[in-house]
Amino acid sequence: MQRISAYVRTLNSTFIQSFVPYLTTRTMASNNDAKTSFENKKQEYMNMSLEERKKSFKSTTKSINEIPTWAEYWFKNKSIISVKVSNQNAKAGMDVAKKISFWMGDITTLEVDAIVNAANSVLIPGGGVDGAIHKAAGPYLKMECATLGRCPAGEAKITGGYSLPAKYVIHTVGPVGKIPEVLEKCYKNCLDLAKVYGLRTIAFPCISTGVYGYPQEAAARVALSTVTNYLINDIDSMDRVIFCLFLNSDKEIYEKLLPSYFDLN
């Protein structure tokens, strides 16, 4: 019986040793095929004009020219915006106000160079804006994300946009709860990555304010201060930064806070 058991173990060991390299090779080949597949599709979309890509869009898109800058919005609506404006500590002027917008709508419809995805650390499709972006972009986005590894909170990684109007998606992972220094890193790292890739227009969702539990107004203050300071220090880095809002309460918060960051008198 011992001889039989030893013989069986030898057979099992021989089988495993011969099968594992085969399995590993097949897995690597499968991964390489997937990588080749999304890279080909990514390049295909990158080479298309916006008009050509529009044929594959599932919904109406929104041109950046249809969205007023903060300067335009303020001068048109300041008489009806019921907030007390304190500009004593305002650092930003007209040059920055012409590069910032807030807009309520679906971020997946924006015709910008890049939209930002409020992602999870493993970069797999989730709920909220993350799920909406993956659904609109199509399956190749998930395939590319699978090659990027983990994304720690505060960091950012970039992929193609595929079936989105935006050519790129910048994925960032916000903090769970109110951690301003991490949320600030999200916005700054996204802008830095956009600059590296030569992108001129970008749209942000309200990072971390959903299931991650960051209070809306506190998150808006971090977003506004980080972006305005970034543009003050490097005004030529971007043509437009859009804060894409989903809730009426977000709109009220941004409309209330924005005037205090600008001296437009």
Confidence of residue 83 (pLDDT cuts 50, 70, 90): low
Contacts of 172 (CB under 8 A, 6+ apart): 116, 117, 118, 119, 151, 154, 155, 156, 157, 186, 189, 190, 207
Q: Does an H or E element contain 114, and which?
A: strand 114-118
176: number of CA atoms within 13 Å, CB side?
Answer: 4
Q: For 132-162, write each residue's pLDDT tens digit.
A: 999 999 999 999 999 999 999 999 999 999 9
Residue 106 phi, psi dihedral angles, 5° rounding: -90, 115
**Range of weakest confidence among 22-31, 191-200, 213-222, 247-256:** 22-31
User: How many CA atoms, within 13 angstroms, populate the side-chain half-sphere of residue 153?
Assistant: 14
DSSP string for 242-265 = EEEE-SHHHHHHHHHHGGGGB---
- Is the confidence at residue 36, as pLDDT, over 70? no
pLDDT band at 84 (very low <50, low <70, confident <90, very high): low
